Amino acid sequence: MQEAELCARLADYAAARMPDASGVTVREIARITGGASRQTYRFVLTWTDAAGRPAERRLILRRDPADSLIDTERRVEFEAYRAFHGTGVPVPEMLWLEEGAEALGSPFFVAEEISGFQAGTGLLFAPPYVDTLPDLGRRKWTILGEIAAADPDALGLAAHLPAVAPRDCWRRELDHWEAILDSDESEPLPVIRAAIRWLRANPPPPAQKVGVVHGDYRTGNFLYDDKGQIHGILDWEMCHLGDPLEDLGWSFNPVWYFGQGRPGGLLPREAAVAAWEAASGLTAAPEALHWWELFACVKGQAIWVSSARAWLEGANRDPILVYPAWALINAQDRAALKVMGRL
């Protein structure tokens, strides 16, 4: 769909949801590069309100591509954002969810744009941001602890996510991601298969609680400023109920160290665990956390091989799908070897 047509159809869609507005237009639409599972655009919505005053708002459109790195339900992502909006966990406000393909050719949602902050990791390790990394790291793992502490029922989120018993959290996740490896891998993965055998032979204890798991909580998926503050937690598309240690393990995946030698490139591991434990009220028992860190390597590899599969099948030839396959599959193997003490 060409840009002009996308603007027109998006304006029509918004106008139908704003009965008091007239002259609804979409302008300054621009694709944000980097999203491999959704196509993300920023745009400005302008209209005239019921009193005849001109108004505008900066918004984000997240639209499903033909095929993506991660197959997820957009409703899960939408409801997760909506559940945490207005809590201590900063997220953008959700406006509209469209699950049909009629309006824009594929499902999408529209959300508030939180503007003026950074998300990319390229700027983090140079001034002025590099001096804020300890504060940013403490904030990052404190917010993750707050997500772990949240009550999915009280948030209204439990109704949208499949339930799981504390003793079954690990098995459900491992089964899920192993099945994706089975279906999507285009070359055998001896390191990851060995990791899976170890994980099955050495299961973790039951989860201390079944909580909200963000599913992709890492540096690069939040909006930060130059004061070490976080203004938006993004990319909730893999949100589910499960063991809160899963998110902590994922945040410790060595592929997210960015060559800095510490989790997320931000904070020593002990400090990150301390911030998470203080905010969550939970304990990160070393053996249990180790299990989830190795699981994170399996999950990461499943995502990278899915990316290659999506490209190979041809429905989506976005070059961003090739990058994980070429740059991260071996890095993820290396990460798994390190977590297993083999490298």
Q: Kindly indicate which of the ranges 74-82, 180-188, 235-243, 276-284 contains the residues binding another protein, using the contact rule CB under 8 A.
A: 180-188
Write the CA distances from 122 to 224, 258, 326, 335, integer angstroms: 12, 9, 19, 21
**Which lies closer to another protein via its Cβ, residue 16 or residue 343?**
343
| Residue 12 touches another protein, criterion: CB under 8 A | no
| Contact pick of 171, 209, 231, 334 for another protein (by CB under 8 A) | 334
279 and 142 Cβ atoms separated by less than 8 Å: yes
Gap between the Cα atoms of 276 and 167, Å rounded: 22
| Residue 49 touches another protein, criterion: CB under 8 A | no
Q: Kindly indicate which of the ranges 69-77, 168-176, 212-220, 330-338 contains the residues binding another protein, using the contact rule CB under 8 A.
A: 330-338
| Contact pick of 188, 270, 286, 287 for another protein (by CB under 8 A) | 188
Q: Kindly indicate which of the ranges 82-90, 91-99, 147-155, 333-341 contains the residues binding another protein, using the contact rule CB under 8 A.
A: 333-341
Residues 58-97 that bind another protein (CB under 8 A): none
| Residue 3 touches another protein, criterion: CB under 8 A | yes
What's the min distance (Å) between Cβ of 181 and another protein?
A: 12
60 and 44 Cβ atoms separated by less than 8 Å: no
What x/- string results for residues 295 through 314 when contact with another protein is judged by CB under 8 A?
-------------x--xx--
| Residue 327 touches another protein, criterion: CB under 8 A | yes
Gap between the Cα atoms of 237 and 77, Å rounded: 4
Residue 212 forms beta bridges with which residues? 241
What's the min distance (Å) between Cβ of 75 and another protein?
A: 27
**Which lies closer to another protein via its Cβ, residue 283 or residue 330?**
330
What's the min distance (Å) between Cβ of 295 and another protein?
A: 16
| Residue 190 touches another protein, criterion: CB under 8 A | yes
**Which lies closer to another protein via its Cβ, residue 17 or residue 197?**
197
Residues 16-35 that bind another protein (CB under 8 A): 30-31, 33-34
What x/- string results for residues 239 through 278 when contact with another protein is judged by CB under 8 A?
---------------xxxxxx-------------------
What's the min distance (Å) between Cβ of 188 and another protein?
A: 4
Residues 113-142 that bind another protein (CB under 8 A): none
**Which lies closer to another protein via its Cβ, residue 269 or residue 317?**
317
Give the interface with another protein as residue ranges (CB under 8 A). Answer: 3, 30-31, 33-34, 186-191, 193-194, 197, 254-259, 308, 311-312, 317, 319-320, 322-323, 325-328, 330-335, 337-338, 342-343
